[in-house]
Structure 1
Amino acid sequence: MKKNNLFLYICLISSTFLINGCDGKKTSDGTRLSQLPTAVINSYLFHTEPELLPFSKKIKQQQIQGSSSKTINYNEQGFVTNYDLEGLHGEINYDTAKYSYGMNDTRNVYAIVFDSSKNILGMKNNDNDIVASTEFDEQGRLVETTLSHFAENNVIFSSRIIYDNDHVELVLYNAYVPVDEKTKFPVLSQEKDVIYNDNEQIEKTITKTFKLSSNGDIIINENNEQEVELTETCTYSEYNQNNDWTKAVCITAGSESKTVNLTRTIQYD
Structure 2
Amino acid sequence: MNKFVKASLVAALLAAPLMADEEFGGIGVTIYQVGDGVKVAEVIPGTPAAETKLQAGDVITAVDGVSLKGNDIEASKSVLRGTVNKPLEITYVSEGETYTATIRRAQITVKDLEAAKVESWYNKAEFNAQELETYASATESNNKQLVAVLQQGSLVASDKNVKATNLNGIYIERADEFAPKTPKQQLSKHSTSSLKGFTRKTISFNLSSAGTAVITILNSDGAEVATLRAENAQPGFNTLRWNGENIPSGRYLVRIEHNGSISGKNAVLK
TM-score tier, shorter chain, comes to: under 0.3
Q: Which has the higher helix share?
A: 2
| TM-score, scaled to structure 1 | 0.25
Q: Which has the larger radius of gyration?
A: 2
Higher relative contact order, chain-length normalized (CA < 8 Å, sep 6+): 1
